Structure 1
Amino acid sequence: MSGNIRVLCVVVSAVFLLSLPDVGTSAIPAEETAALRAAIEDLTGTFGRQYPQGRDYLSKLDDVERRGDQDQFETLRREALVANLLVSGNPILFVMRAQYKKDHHNTATMFKTGEINTKSFSGGGALKTIDFGRGGKVETLIETSEGLIRDPEVHFDGGRIVFAMRKNIDDDYHIYEINADATGLKQLTSAPGVADFDPLYLPDDSIVFSSTREPKY
């Protein structure tokens, strides 16, 4: 028995040693480092002084790649990409909701009350922003415990947001608007037995949206 254990230990040790990267050889997939390098170079060329740490990121990438440190690579990748002005320059708007149920293919697009799959409706959601320029700070613009929010669209000036909301299982989706600072919430559409959704701002400040007011099926 002891002989078997010794042999097993030798084999495992040999495999372990063979699996270790050689000094100076990266354990990070080459395509990942190449992709990050290309992204940093593109951001540096595009934003120039507005992306001031570009050259420093490239130097750090060389060092991380040489040492093959996956954890440091992930940290560097997040830092370099979040520094992108398109990411950290302004807050990013997103909708939070529970995962839709898998019982019906169009549960995710339930519009009107009384549909065959209405019983599958599950409320609870919010409209939030995340600001990577402020360390990933998350703020809630509006939250509903019994309803759902969908289809947010930011105005061209960044000061207003239009979206569709269903307040609860007995409600239909209607169009709402709120200021980017979470003030001035107002309902824009309302009609019994119909649902309005997918709103979109037009350059003349009008709003277009989809609706079940004139069903085609």
Structure 2
Amino acid sequence: MCGSVGINTVYVGHQQAKACLISRLSCERAGTRFNVRGTNDYGHVANFVETEQVIFLDNNHVASYLLVRGSIPLFWEQTGVQVGTHKLRVSRGNEISHPAFERHLATLQYLYGKQVIINLVGNKEGEFTIGSMYKAHHKSSRFRDDIPYIAFDYHHYCSRGREENLALMLKDRIRKHFDEFEFYYSLGNDGPKMYQSGTFRINCID
């Protein structure tokens, strides 16, 4: 398994807790940035990462929240040698891409339950092209009514230190889904009292 783990001590009022962030990188479509993009025929995407935040409280209470991210599940690539010169190119047409797109969403539902797509790509050149294709595939997908698609141009709204726009402009759009999915919560020896029922599936151009 490839990934990372970070653990820090945090304080909430008089209580001490351990905050743990775990990221697990999928081995199904491995490869370095720019060299591996998009999906394969099985619906496995590049740079697919499952990230879990776990909070351990002093009273043995445990809370956990999980989300996933990965490359846009279409057939595309970025050619070039130097960073900044990589040109985005679609390598397969819509009809050939669609079965892999459907397999990807089916796998997400099977593994994680309910899904919401959050697409953070922008409107510049290649990003606009692949983002438009992503939206079109979702619109024609058998999952279109079950899996909401939310587009948010992260670089346009949040670049130059304007991350507060995430709360101002995106939070309200995902709030009902966040509340619906809930999170995992366990009361020590009493066992789990709540389970997370879905995840946000997030992507930027990476």
TM-score range with shorter-chain normalisation?
under 0.3
Indicate the structure (1 or 2) with the bigger Cα radius of gyration: 1
Provide TM-score, normalisation by structure 2: 0.26
Between structures 1 and 2, the one with greater helix share: 1
Between structures 1 and 2, the one with greater strand share: 2
Provide TM-score, normalisation by structure 1: 0.25
